[in-house]
Structure 1
Amino acid sequence: MTGFSPTRMIGGRYVVLGDIDGTVRRASDRVTGLQVAVEELRLPHDPGERTLAREQLLRVARAAGRLDHPGFVTIHDVVTDGDADHIVTELVDAPTLAERVAADGPLDEREATAMTRQLASALQAAHGAGIVHGDISPHTVRLGPDGKVRLAGVGKAVDPQRAARDPGFLAPELRDGGQPTPESDLWAFGAALHVAVLARPPTDGAVPVFGGGALGSVLAGLLQRVPRDRPSARQVVGALDDAHRLARASRRRGRRWWWAVAGAALGLLLGLAAGFVLATPRVEALTYGPDGDVRLDGPVAGACLAAAPATGVVLDAVDCAGPHGAEVVATLDPFGGRDVPYPGQEAFSRFAAGACTPVFDAVVEPSGLELVALVPARAGFATGQREVHCVVRATDGSALDGGRVAGKRG
């Protein structure tokens, strides 16, 4: 399709008003009077293949219409004009993520986090309805002036020419000839986020470095090369929501901080149970139990410990008012009492790093302190010792005096 004029119509209904981008036109709907976006699709020339592709497009359009999710640009119609098929959507007058970054540079962390949360929620709805988007990139993400984010281009899920698009936003498995899946959507989502925070697409084989908080962990997790290692959209929503609640709790610095601590680990708990954990910073982890690095002499949840955790040490609880070696600032149960096989020390260590680090950042007065995690060894796990203890100790090995959790000093 080339050129346009105010008298040209698509499908006998949509009056073309101008170009928007490439094969996308601004048009006026003669029936409703609304302005819409009309995009030409590149369906196969073979009649049989074209019929199948059109049927799939209609199924996707109907399903997308039923979603009624604020994060998606609404699909109004699918029309054929001559030998070309078109998808008609609402017109969103907002810059794309690509345009915004090109004009103003990377988004700040707050705006990028809000964008990520909204896109993850939209994908959660789509994947839950069996819809694979198929074309997530900075060019299909629109950023409204009101902070609302919209995702366009869902019709590309049936576009047989998808491999011709920018490979920087195609998951590795699609570049290798695979078919679009929810997991490939998630990689493309991560690539778009990479542009949002670093102003460039990801590089093959390079680990993205963007802070150590929830957004950085989400970014690293989405860009995992192996599809099953990527977090689901639901896990991304949960991780960001829990991080937000924990941040609010840290600002209050009140006695109810532990409820936020329990919630902050939810996304990580889900990931560990599924065999996946978001990329996390390194934290020293020591095993406990009969075959562990340390032995716990009785319950330690919420306690101060006589000695600092170290290989070969027996840890028992003491009064926080006197000198002590360490303090347990959070105790987390990754499995909620469920009967599961031992996930391995490495998986527990990764979980502990991801769950204990935000707790340390939010609720500990960190001057001169460092974080260590106590995780179950195999034999202890088999006897029911399944908790992860987040512990602080002095960086110089000296004794502590008074509780170091915010609101607990005394």
Structure 2
Amino acid sequence: MSRPRDLRRRHASALGPGDPDDIGGRPLLGRLGEGGQGVVYLAEDHDGEPCAVKLLKGGMAAGRRARDRFVKEADAARRVAGRHTAQVLDADVTGDRPYIVSEYVDGPSLQETVAGDGPLPERRLHRVALGTAAALAAIHREGIVHRDFKPGNVLLGPDGPKVIDFGIARMADATPLTTGPLGTPAYMAPEQIEDEPVGPPADVFAWGAAMVFAATGRPPFGTGPNAAVMRRVTSRPPDLGDLDGPLRELAARCLDKNPQARPSARQLVRALREGAGPAPRPRPTRIPRYRWRMMVALAVVMTAGFVIGVL
């Protein structure tokens, strides 16, 4: 089997002493990330191709709520099909080590990219905005709410952006598994913070906040202690920085405190396709060959007439 030797090129770090050697018969090659619910590894599938494997922390000892969320994550990710979401390839949520195997996206997160290189240039920003809006539209079409859309959950792969991590996703009409707000404060909608019913508009709010971050390098409600950030989200207008053009207007509408006033993800896609992007580069004007011949002939006639006049 071929093994990727340079883990940095795969956006992974080395395995730790407590990490397993394989999961579900797939050799582990490195760590891709870790969250409150699980650890994500870079692995090799049975054909020697890279894949991502998320292992539930605690395994069988994990609490019932954690296991229920993991099962719902696998189900939600399986149901969503689209070019801008990472596809689930396999899963075992009932064994001693519950895991989910998904498509490996060979690229950094939006969070890492902006933190390392600064705000996205206009054209790349538009591509990311359109791709992630399309991903949310596909998610919402299945009746699922992501609930943790943020720059860290957007991977910038060679085929464009892909949305990952359905760890706290649920059906739009489902009863929450836990009480209290779940998510990342800087990208949480007011209704999430205030523990009110959460639907697709919450993902749209998060999208608007993430696009402000991608364009300016900072989230629209600042950083700092979670309580301070959440207070700004619920009571202050967003700081859109130097974001300009049609995307500024879209982001402002998405960050409305009233969920009913926000556009849907599908409307975002339509707006971005119909003119919220940068103007196309002007193409050099090409003169047809027959016109070149006419111009050359005319120049010859004019030159000849000038010469005769002089003589």
Whether the TM-score (by the shorter chain) exceeds 0.5 is yes
Equivalent position amino acid for 1:157 in 2 = A
Q: Which amino acid aligns with 2:42?
A: R
Structure 1: segments with no counterpart, 5+ residues? 253-410
Question: For the Cα contact (< 8 Å) 2:150–2:210, is it kept in 1?
Answer: yes
Q: CA deviation at 1:188?
A: 1.1
Match of 1:242 among 269, 274, 277: 274
| Alignment match, 1:407 | none
Alignment of 1:187 with 2:205, yes or no, is yes
Q: In the alignment, which residue of structure 1 is the partner of 2:163? A: 151
Aligned-pair CA distance for 1:79: 2.0
Give the aligned residue type for 1:237: V
> Counterpart of 1:136?
149
Per-residue CA distance 1:214-243 (angstroms, 9 max, x = gap): 111111111111111111111111112221
Distance, in Å, in 2 between the alignment partners of 1:162 and 1:93 is 34
- Count of aligned positions: 243
Partner in structure 1 of residue 257 of structure 2 = 225
Over 3 Å counting, the alpha-carbon distance change for 1:20 and 1:4 in structure 2 is: farther
| 2:136 pairs with 1:123 | yes
TM-score by length of 2: 0.68
Question: What is the alpha-carbon distance in structure 1 between the residues aligned to residue 67 and residue 121 of structure 2?
Answer: 45
Q: Is the contact between residue 24 and residue 38 of structure 1 (CA under 8 Å) also seen in structure 2?
A: yes
SS in 2 for 1:76: strand
Query: Closer, same or farther in 2 for the Cα pair 1:88/1:228, shift >3 Å?
Result: same
One-letter amino acid of the structure 2 residue matched with residue 39 of structure 1: K
**Matching residue within 61, 85, 101 for 2:77:** 61
Shift of 1:136: 1.0
Judging changes above 3 Å, is the alpha-carbon distance between structure 1 residues 162 and 24 closer, same or farther for their aligned structure 2 residues? farther
* 1:173 CA drift (Å): 1.3
2:127 is the counterpart of 1:114: yes
Q: What's the offset of the Cα at 1:50?
A: 5.9
> Does the 8 A contact of 2:212 with 2:251 survive in 1?
yes
Q: Is the 8 A contact 1:5 1:16 kept in 2?
A: no
> Equivalents in 2 of 1:56, 1:35: separation in Å?
24
Whether contact under 8 Å (2:84, 2:163) holds in the other structure is yes
Query: Is 1:169 aligned with 2:200?
Result: no
Contact 2:188–2:202, Cα closer than 8 Å, also in 1: yes
Q: CA deviation at 1:73?
A: 1.0
Q: Deviation of residue 180 (structure 1)?
A: 4.1
1:278-312: CA deviation from partner (whole Å, max 9, x where unpaired): xxxxxxxxxxxxxxxxxxxxxxxxxxxxxxxxxxx
Decide which of 23, 32, 37 is 1:20's aligned counterpart: 32
| 8 Å Cα contact 2:123/2:277 also seen in 1 | no
Alignment of 1:292-303 (within 5 A): none
Which structure has more relative contact order (CA 8 Å, sep 6+)? It is 2
CA distance in 2, matches of 1:53, 1:88: 16
CA contact (8 A) 2:128 2:161 kept: yes
Q: Secondary structure at the match of 1:156?
A: coil
Q: Larger % of strand: which?
A: 1
Q: 2:116 aligns with which of 89, 103, 120?
A: 103
> Aligned to 2:150, what secondary structure does the other structure show?
coil
Quick one: which amino acid aligns to residue 27 of structure 1? Answer: A
Tell me what 1:341 maps to.
none
C-alpha displacement at 1:246, in angstroms?
Answer: 9.9
Per the TM alignment, residue 168 of structure 1 is displaced from its structure 2 partner at its CA by 0.8
- State the TM-score, normalizing by the size of structure 1: 0.52
Cα distance in structure 2, aligned partners of 1:88 and 1:6: 16
- Report what 1:288 is aligned to: none
Letter in 1 for 2:79: A
CA distance in 2, matches of 1:223, 1:9: 43
Q: Could you say what secondary structure the match of 2:152 adopts?
A: coil
Alignment partners' CA distance in 1, 2:180 and 2:104? 23
Rounded to whole Å, the distance in 2 between the matches of 1:73 and 1:130 is 18
Deviation at 1:62, TM superposition (A): 2.8
Task: State the Cα distance separating 1:131 from its structure 2 match.
Answer: 2.1
Identity %: 33
Q: Hey, what does 2:246 align to over in structure 1?
A: 214
> Displacement, 1:45?
4.7
Which of the numbers 51, 67, 81 marks the counterpart of 1:36?
Answer: 51
Distance across 1 between alignment mates of 2:57 and 2:18:
22
Aligned partner letter, 2:31: D
Contact 1:118 1:149 in 2 (8 A): yes
**Contiguous gaps of at least 5 residues in structure 2:** 1-14, 171-176, 222-231, 284-311
CA deviation after TM superposition for structure 1 residue 28, in Å: 1.7
Partner in structure 2 of residue 3 of structure 1 = 16
Q: Can you list the C-alpha shifts for 1:161-212, whole angstroms capped at 9, x where unaligned?
A: 9956531122121122235421111111111111101101121313324454
| Partner Cα separation in structure 1 for residue 178 and residue 102 of structure 2 | 20
Q: Cα 1:59–1:116, aligned 2, differ >3 Å: closer, same or farther?
A: same
Q: Check conservation: 2:70, 2:167, Cα contact below 8 A.
A: no
